[in-house]
Amino acid sequence: MHRRRIKKIIIKRFMKRLGYPLNLRNPQTYCEKIQWLKCNQQHSDEKVISRADKYTVREFIKSKGFANHLVELYGCWDKPEEIDWEILPNRFVFKLNNGCGSKYLWFVQNKDEFPRENFVSEVKESMSVNYGFFKGEFHYSKMPTKIIAEAYLGEEGNAIRDYKFYCFHGEIAFFSVEEGKIDATHVRDYYNIDWTVSKVKFFGDIPRPSQAFEKPAEFDQMILMAQNLSQGYPHIRVDMYNVDGQIYFGELTYTPENGMTRWDPLSLDLEYGQLMILRDINH
């Protein structure tokens, strides 16, 4: 489907999801500015394309001196039939490099019991969808689709905490901490850089925890890493994990929630949008 057609769909989807008309001529809110970047800049920015790619971003992380924070990579393939199952450990994770969500992610708890035929069918179906055009996140459509296998973080039965730093021009405005992502205990909370609870809130978000998350001993190192990796671009969400004191890089997200998240209250949409200077792209 042509990009202009998708742009029209984005405009309709924006109004339906957020309740106000999308202004691409003079964007002011957080969500509007993400749509502007999607439609006007990211699809042709080679740095955005390579760094949002879950496979090629690894070279960028190495160039920044953070190679020891990469999750161990077991393999990368163009087709599921090419996967060398013999080299894979018993427990690992499959993911596509250019898609987000559960349809592009497979947790393998036991290789011998893993339903390989079902997986091959599912991954072929996911690979057949042009995720970038379907979501209007055109930079993903510029990435050759790959299947990658990485280490399964943490011990079975122990929840992993996921940290997502919302960075604007290399500075962290707030971050989220979440736990229980793959089970029924999924909770999330938002914090300021001084670890006080943030005012950030979204409609329809997952529940907050019954008590605040504890600040990890490695937090200052995580802050420096997020700031370093987000330099030179209006807005990047830097995702990482902290597992038993070891920091792992997750991914760089240029379009968090596809820029379609309803802030609560709506005034926050405008407030955080003002932190994004669209002409200031120098990464």
- Of the candidates 242, 241, 237, 238, the residue with the CA atom closest to the CA atom of residue 259: 237
pLDDT tens, residue by residue, 17-52: 999 999 999 999 999 999 999 999 999 999 999 999
pLDDT tier at 1, thresholds 50, 70, 90: low
- Of the three residues 131, 152, 173, the one that is the final residue of a domain is 152
Same domain for 279 and 174: yes
Q: How confident is the model over 158-165, as a mean pLDDT?
A: 87
**For the chain, how many residues are written?**
283
Q: What is the pLDDT of residue 279?
A: 85
227 in a structural domain = yes
Tell me: pLDDT of 61 over 90: yes
Same domain for 243 and 205: yes
Separation of alpha carbons 73 and 62, rounded Å: 13
Q: What is the pLDDT of residue 166?
A: 98
**Cβ count within 10 A of residue 133:** 17
Q: How confident is the model over 271-282, as a mean pLDDT?
A: 93
**This prediction's pTM:** 0.95
- Of the candidates 218, 238, 221, 222, the residue with the CA atom closest to the CA atom of residue 169: 238
Same domain for 259 and 223: yes
Same domain for 135 and 45: yes
Same domain for 239 and 254: yes
Same domain for 273 and 241: yes
Separation of alpha carbons 111 and 242, rounded Å: 25
Non-local CB neighbours of 150 within 8 Å, separated by 6+ positions:
71, 72, 73, 74, 92, 93, 95
204 in a structural domain = yes
DSSP states of 177-210? EEE-TTSTT-EEEEE-TTSPBP---BTTPPPPPS
Same domain for 120 and 167: no
Strand partners, 129: none
Same domain for 163 and 147: no
- Of the three residues 99, 127, 152, the one that is the final residue of a domain is 152
187 in a structural domain = yes
7 in a structural domain = no
13 in a structural domain = no
Q: How confident is the model over 254-263, as a mean pLDDT?
A: 96
Q: How confident is the model over 95-103, as a mean pLDDT?
A: 88
Q: What is the pLDDT of residue 6?
A: 83
254 in a structural domain = yes
Which percentage of the chain shows pLDDT scores above 90? 83
Same domain for 178 and 143: no
Q: How confident is the model over 58-83, as a mean pLDDT?
A: 98
Q: What is the pLDDT of residue 100?
A: 84
pLDDT tier at 158, thresholds 50, 70, 90: low
101 in a structural domain = yes
255 in a structural domain = yes
Same domain for 170 and 254: yes
> What is the residue range of 53's domain?
41-70+72-152
Residue 266 maps to which CATH number?
Answer: 3.30.470
pLDDT tens, residue by residue, 101-156: 778 899 999 999 999 999 999 999 999 888 777 788 999 999 999 999 999 998 66
Same domain for 207 and 269: yes
- Of the candidates 86, 107, 84, the residue with the CA atom closest to the CA atom of residue 95: 107
- Longest CA span, the chain: 55
Tell me: pLDDT of 62 over 90: yes
Q: How many domains does the chain have?
A: 2
Tell me: pLDDT of 66 over 80: yes
For the record, the structure tokens of 218 come out as: 């490695």
- Of the three residues 118, 152, 186, the one that is the final residue of a domain is 152
**Cβ count within 10 A of residue 92:** 19
Same domain for 202 and 129: no
Q: How confident is the model over 269-281, as a mean pLDDT?
A: 94
